[in-house]
Amino acid sequence: MSPAEPPAGATGLARIPPASADSYRSRFAAAALAEEYESNYAPGTYDSWIWDLQRSYLEDLLARRLPADGGRYLDFACGSGRVISFVEPKVREAIGVDVSPHMLELAREKVERAALIHTDLTADRGAVTGKFDLITAFRFLLHSEPELRSAALTTIRDLIADDGTLVVNVHGNAHSLRAIPWAFRRYILRQGVKQLSLRQTRAILEQSGFRVVEARGFGLVIARLYRLLGRRLSEMIERATRFRPIERLCVDLILVCEPKSEARSRPGG
């Protein structure tokens, strides 16, 4: 299956509902905005460092949670393909969906066999069929408006297998050390700031039919401090996150979830 080819049973280019200018659906409507997003992960950047930390954790997580054959995997709002290109070698089938054709063009340069579909699953759930053993949604929950976020999680809940795993992240923890400059922006500069605490994110996921079974934090050092200290010193400070209470002060949180049900059978269990 080529990266641009929709999977069997998929509708391929599905209906994308019109979005207002301030909707998250239109965030990467322009190619330049997609390219700007991609530049955040250039070598040496803060975001690329966070992703390096997360990949080590995800490697272990997938080894623990995926079925023996790798199973079926869906990357919701796959963006430029950072996450799906990492996961695809570990699964039997990989599908990525996104509303931005420009992001998907960037993703096609990274994946080898994953099917990438230009669609909004909240509007056309028939764009993909069947159940998934693993679903990821990175850098989506924080910036999506509540209505879209709720619709997305409802859709994901319908698509995940009873014993499947959902992995999401929040890249703006309200209780991280970045809360200090955020407070300045919000109350002094009167700028809009989006952030979610671990507790708020848990509540959102619970309301959508998921139970959080694991949470990890990455980025105790905030971006400004990282640029000042450099990678080596930042990684020395990052070791403090081995202590769970300190880990909750990190900028980026990853939450591992299971769909709520009466009984679940775990991979290998």
CA distance 257 to 260: 9
Query: What's the CA gap between 171 and 50, in Å, rounded?
Result: 10
Please determine, for residue 89, whether its predicted confidence score (pLDDT) is greater than 60.
yes
Beta carbons within 10 angstroms of residue 246's beta carbon: 13
H or E element at residue 102: helix 101-108
Model's pTM, two decimal places?
0.86
**Tokens for 95?**
């599908």
Q: Where are the beta strands (DSSP E) in the chain?
A: 72-76, 93-98, 115-118, 132-137, 160-170, 210-218, 252-259
Share of the chain above pLDDT 90, in %: 72
One-letter identity of residue 258? E
pLDDT tens-digit profile of 156-202? 999 999 999 999 999 999 999 877 665 555 556 555 668 899 999 99
From CA 92, how far away is CA 85, in angstroms rounded? 13
Q: Decide which of 189 and 104 is more confident.
A: 104
Task: Give the tens place of pLDDT for each residue, 57-81.
Answer: 999 999 999 999 999 999 999 999 9
Q: Looking at the DSSP assignment, which residues form a beta bridge with residue 136? A: 75, 167
User: Topology of 28-259 in CATH?
Assistant: Rossmann fold (3.40.50)
Distance CA 80, CA 16 (A): 18
In the chain, how many H helices and how many E strands?
A: 10, 7
Is the CB of residue 115 less than 8 Å from the CB of residue 1? yes
Q: Is the pLDDT assigned to residue 17 strictly greater than 60?
A: no
- Phi-psi label, residue 55: left if phi above 0, alpha if psi -120 to 50, beta otherwise: alpha
Q: Using H for helix, E for strand and C for coil, what is the string for 167-231? A: EEEECCECCCCCHHHHHHHHHCCCCCCCCECHHHHHHHHHHCCEEEEEEEEECCCCHHHHHHHCH
